[in-house]
């Protein structure tokens, strides 16, 4: 989608306000060169002060971008584009964070087994003169997992640092019967929407 503006984007300094190697891989797969610059924003927003999950992830993504922007300026840098994102797993109106123990991971995964849940990713994109934020959600349907399979997955160590206790791009991908939405929203960056926004931003500048 970006090929008509790629010659412009390739000359831009693009920063990903994230420490996630899989987000970096996603952005590089679409042909962009980016620098990872993990945000130090303490993810401490109170979910109760937001009317919906979308607003919460968008605001967290925005705060990550603004924090990185501030530090960049303090260092005398002025990146052309800063992209930030925040991903959240939800089920029955509840947010699922990172499990604090293997037992909690087991409980989370057991609840996800054999049914659908919803993953939200909020994105903020800051250029020199504007900030755009949006979010996407994708429904994910897990097949039935038996106890042995869940314990086996937990033993890989993968669930412990992941919201909802799983990473779709890892071994947990084999539990996913189908998704409805942008698959990459679940990986951590809704690629279609990110590219649409970048295309519109830089087409205007041609």
Name the residues that contact its own copies, by CB under 8 A. Answer: 1-4, 6, 29-31, 138, 143, 145, 148-149, 152-153, 155-156, 171, 173-184, 191-192, 195-196, 199
Instruction: Look up 180 and say whether it is catalytic.
Output: no
Residue with tokens 């909690």: 104
Least spacing, CB of residue 122 vs its own copies, in Å: 17
* Closer by beta carbon to its own copies, 77 or else 174: 174
Encode 77-134 in three state secondary structure. CCCCEEEEEEEEEEECCEEECCCCCHHHHHHHHHHHCCCEEEEEEEEEEECCCCEEEE
Least spacing, CB of residue 203 vs its own copies, in Å: 9
Q: Among the options 69, 86, 129, 182, which is catalytic? A: 86
- Residues in CB range of 55: below 8 A, 6 or more apart: none
Q: CA nearest 63: which of 48, 82, 79?
A: 82
Please return the burial class of 48, using the count of CB atoms within 10 Å of its CB with bins 0-12, 13-18 and 19+.
exposed
How many angstroms separate the CA atoms of 9 and 65, rounded?
A: 19
* Closer by beta carbon to its own copies, 31 or else 38: 31
* Closer by beta carbon to its own copies, 95 or else 197: 197
Per-residue tokens: 42: 């303490």
Least spacing, CB of residue 71 vs its own copies, in Å: 30
How many angstroms separate the CA atoms of 122 and 37, rounded?
A: 18
* Closer by beta carbon to its own copies, 9 or else 62: 9
Least spacing, CB of residue 67 vs its own copies, in Å: 28
* Closer by beta carbon to its own copies, 43 or else 180: 180
Indicate which residues carry an active-site annotation.
86
């Amino acid at each position: 989608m970006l090929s008509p503006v790629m010659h412009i984007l390739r000359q831009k300094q693009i920063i990903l306000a994230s420490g996630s190697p899989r987000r970096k891989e996603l952005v590089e797969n679409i042909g962009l060169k980016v620098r990872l610059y993990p945000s130090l924003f303490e993810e401490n927003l109170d979910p109760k002060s937001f009317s919906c999950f979308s607003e919460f992830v968008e605001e967290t993504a925005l705060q990550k971008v603004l924090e990185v922007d501030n530090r960049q300026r303090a260092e005398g840098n002025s990146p052309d584009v800063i992209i930030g994102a925040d991903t959240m797993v939800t089920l029955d109106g509840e947010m699922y964070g990172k499990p604090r123990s293997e037992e909690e991971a087991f409980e989370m995964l057991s609840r996800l087994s054999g049914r659908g849940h919803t993953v939200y990713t909020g994105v903020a994109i800051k250029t020199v003169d504007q900030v755009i934020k949006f979010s996407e959600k994708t429904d994910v349907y897990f097949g039935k997992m038996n106890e042995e399979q869940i314990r086996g997955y937990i033993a890989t160590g993968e669930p412990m640092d992941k919201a909802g206790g799983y990473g779709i791009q890892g071994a947990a991908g084999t539990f996913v019967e189908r998704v409805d939405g942008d698959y990459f929203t679940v990986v951590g960056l809704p690629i279609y929407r990110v590219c649409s926004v970048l295309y519109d931003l830089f087409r205007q500048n041609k």
